[in-house]
Amino acid sequence: MKDFAITSTRSFDRAAQRLQDLERYADRRDQLLAGLDLDLLGPDQLSRIFAEDEQINEDLAWGHLYLAHLAEMEALGSSFRTDLRLAA
């Protein structure tokens, strides 16, 4: 699975784009897997598929939390800049 590196940037816009790319990848992957007959796959292949599903779900959850964090940090930074201007 491709590493979308959502948390490797501090830019909200870049992180949001990477999260959107991961969501699109997850949707397309789900469509592909829906067309497969999982009964024909071996245990190693099924294990790999389910492990990747767990990783994708975890990355999606962390990605949304990270975007919320970046938005909060941006708002906090704006608040500090406003406070500093008022104090000066």
User: What is the per-residue pLDDT across 33-47, written as a single tens digit (0 to 9) for each?
Assistant: 999 999 999 999 999
2 belongs to a structural domain: no
Residue 88 pLDDT > 60, yes or no? no
Phi, psi of 10 (to 5 degrees): -100, 0
Q: Residue 77: give the domain boundaries.
A: 10-87
| Segment 9-58, tens digit of pLDDT | 899 999 999 999 999 999 999 999 999 999 999 999 999 999 999 999 99
Which pLDDT value is given to residue 21?
96
pLDDT tier for residue 61 given thresholds of 50, 70 and 90:
very high
Q: Tokens standing for 77? A: 């930074």
79 belongs to a structural domain: yes
Say which DSSP state 35 is in. T
4 belongs to a structural domain: no
Structural domains of the chain, count: 1
5 belongs to a structural domain: no
